[in-house]
């Protein structure tokens, strides 16, 4: 059963007001990349959006171990992944199923495990599901993989399971898997990959023959999708490159792919990746390395490398992206909603003509928000990344 957890009126008002204050504080915070300047006006620290929205929280399901991704089911309810390797069904009433059997083994060390999950509009007939995960490859190496299977009619078993994508090469790292899955309007499947973080691997984000640090576009049942860019010596499916760790992706109101990726200390980026283009990592970046040194030679721009639409310094540590389309929050229509892990907030960006025109944050300090989706009735759904994680429904107070 769904546990309703409305905020008291006084607390709701406090949270609404403190969101604005905290956002102003963020805009006044000292950046890590001192001396760096945005490439154009509004590329960072956009004006705070004053909307007065107060959120009501309902715990739909709890007791989830580090939930990572979710997909709305046509009959109501949600598919939800847990990083240790479990796929669960949360019913429309909030009942949590036993783990679905038949999924392949995952490597759940550090940032690995079972990641995103996605279905298509024909799910009621096909029962087909796609999921991404950190795949063990032997000798301590792992790689981002995507598998697909048919969910049995009783929801207990995944059948006809086949791996449709394996990031090449595998690497002895347990970080930066990327892993978001997004179907584009043509039916092709976008897969985001990380550059595996460690020295020797991260530089390969610039190597188009390697699938590290890329946006990949595939046929949902395997192989590159028709219409991909022709890139000399490019690895199968490469759409764009020069990415660090993309854990947020969605199709925007303009029908194009939008992504948000983790920077180091500063330099989280909102991008609209275009076919055959280079997004710069690790040659250019805003912010600095974790040890305080410059990223590369400290450049934030270079010819032939794309600028982010928007960046954060300090970071929000983004994971999960949805564009609002619903009736509950009419003032949010078309806006980007992003989960903040380190930021512990739901971040809203107002976007006009491809540029960010305002930012607001909600639920500041509430939890690490791992994923964001829009329910069919217009409620905003979030997953909290905790040992006792939860699926939470957000509606106007």
What is the secondary structure of 273-299 as a DSSP string? PPTTEE--TTTS-SSB-TTSPPSTTS-
* 155-176: average pLDDT: 98
Rounded average pLDDT over 133-137: 98
8 A C-beta contact, residue 329 and residue 380: yes
Query: Region 299-318: what's the mean pLDDT?
Result: 98
Q: Is the pLDDT of residue 35 over 50?
A: yes
What is the pLDDT averaged over residues 24-29? Answer: 76
> DSSP of 33-63, one letter per residue?
STT---SSTTSSSPPBP-----EEEEEEEEE
Does residue 3 surpass a pLDDT of 70?
no
Kindly report, residue by residue over 226-255, the tens digit of the pLDDT: 999 999 999 999 999 999 999 999 999 999
pLDDT exceeds 70 at position 102: yes
Residue position matching structure tokens 């990746």: 273
With 50 as the cut, is the pLDDT of residue 19 above it? no
Arithmetic mean of pLDDT, 140-168:
98
Mean pLDDT throughout 84-94?
A: 97
Lowest mean pLDDT among 27-31, 72-76, 235-239: 27-31
- What is the pLDDT averaged over residues 13-18? 34
> Which phi and psi (to 5°) does residue 137 adopt?
-115, 5
Q: What is the largest CA-CA distance in the chain?
A: 60
Query: Using one digit for the tens of pLDDT, what is the confidence trace for 167-176?
Result: 999 999 999 9
Q: Over pLDDT 90: what percentage of the chain? A: 92
The single residue of 66, 176, 243, 262 carrying the catalytic annotation is: 176
Q: What is the pLDDT of residue 20?
A: 41
User: Average pLDDT in the 204-226 region?
Assistant: 98
Q: What pLDDT does residue 27 have? A: 86
Phi, psi of 387 (to 5 degrees): -55, -45
Phi, psi (5° rounding) for residue 241?
A: -145, 180
Please give the Cα distance from 242 to 256 (Å, whole number): 19
pLDDT higher than 90, residue 379 = yes
Q: If DSSP codes are grouped into helix, strand and coil, which group holds residue 14? A: helix
pLDDT higher than 60, residue 99:
yes
Contact of 359 with 347, CB cutoff 8 Å? yes
Residue 383's pLDDT band (cuts 50, 70, 90):
very high
The better pLDDT of the pair 310, 21 is held by: 310
For the ranges 5-19, 30-44, 280-294, the lowest mean pLDDT is seen at: 5-19
Using alpha carbons, list the distances in angstroms from residue 115 to 21, 84, 159, 268: 34, 9, 19, 20
Q: Give the rounded distance of the alpha carbon of 146 from its chain centre.
A: 15
**Lowest mean pLDDT segment, chosen from 25-39, 204-218, 340-354, 357-371:** 25-39
Is the pLDDT at 366 greater than 70? The verdict is yes
Give 251-263 pLDDT, tens digit per residue.
Answer: 999 999 999 999 9
Neighbours of 219 (CB within 10 A): 15
Question: Where exactly are the structural domains of the chain?
Answer: 3-396
pLDDT band of residue 21 (cuts 50, 70, 90) is: very low
Q: Beta strand pairing status for 277-278 and 238-241? A: parallel
Mean pLDDT value of segment 4-13: 33
176 as an active site residue: the answer is yes
**What CATH class has 3-396?**
mainly beta
Average pLDDT of the chain to the nearest whole number? 94
Per-residue pLDDT at 24: 52
Q: Identify the pLDDT of residue 18.
A: 35
48 to 25, 53, 118, 160, 334: CA distances (angstroms): 10, 13, 33, 49, 17
Segment 326-351 mean pLDDT: 97
Check the CA dihedral 199-201-206-212 and report its sign: negative
């Amino acid at each position: 059963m769904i546990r309703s957890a409305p905020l008291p009126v006084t607390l709701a008002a406090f949270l609404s007001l403190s969101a604005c204050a905290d956002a102003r504080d963020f805009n006044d915070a000292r950046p890590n990349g001192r001396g760096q300047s945005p490439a154009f006006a509004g590329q960072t620290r956009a004006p705070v959006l004053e909307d007065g929205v107060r959120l009501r929280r309902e715990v739909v399901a709890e007791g989830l171990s580090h939930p990572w991704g979710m997909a709305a089911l046509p009959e109501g309810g949600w598919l939800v992944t847990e990083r240790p390797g479990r796929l669960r069904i949360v019913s429309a009433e909030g009942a949590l199923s036993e783990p679905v059997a038949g999924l392949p083994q995952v490597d759940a060390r550090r940032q690995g495990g079972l990641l995103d999950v996605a279905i298509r509009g024909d799910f009621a007939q096909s029962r087909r599901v796609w999921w991404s995960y950190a795949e063990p490859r032997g000798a301590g190496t792992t790689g981002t993989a995507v598998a697909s299977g048919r969910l049995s009619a009783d929801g207990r078993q995944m059948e006809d399971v086949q791996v449709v994508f394996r990031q090449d090469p595998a690497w002895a790292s347990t970080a930066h898997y990327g892993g978001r899955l997004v179907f584009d309007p043509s039916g092709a499947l976008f897969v985001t990959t990380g550059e595996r973080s460690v020295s020797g691997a991260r530089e390969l984000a610039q190597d188009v023959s390697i699938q590290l640090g890329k946006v990949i576009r595939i046929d949902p049942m395997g192989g590159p999708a028709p219409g991909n860019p022709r890139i000399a010596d490019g690895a199968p499916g490469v759409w764009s490159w020069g990415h660090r760790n993309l854990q947020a992706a969605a199709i925007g109101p303009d029908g194009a792919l939008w992504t948000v990726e983790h920077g180091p200390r500063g330099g989280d980026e909102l991008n609209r990746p275009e076919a055959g283009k280079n997004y710069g990592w690790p040659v250019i970046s805003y912010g600095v390395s974790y040890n305080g040194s410059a990223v590369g030679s400290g450049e934030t721009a270079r010819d032939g490398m794309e600028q982010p639409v928007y960046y954060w310094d300090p970071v929000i540590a983004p994971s999960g992206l949805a564009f609002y389309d619903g009736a509950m929050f009419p003032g949010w229509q078309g806006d980007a909603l992003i989960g903040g892990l380190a930021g512990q907030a739901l971040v809203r960006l107002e976007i006009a003509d491809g540029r960010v025109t305002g930012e607001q944050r909600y639920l500041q300090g509430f939890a690490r928000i791992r994923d964001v989706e829009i329910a069919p009735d217009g409620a905003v759904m979030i997953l909290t990344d905790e040992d006792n994680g939860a699926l939470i429904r957000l509606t106007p107070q």
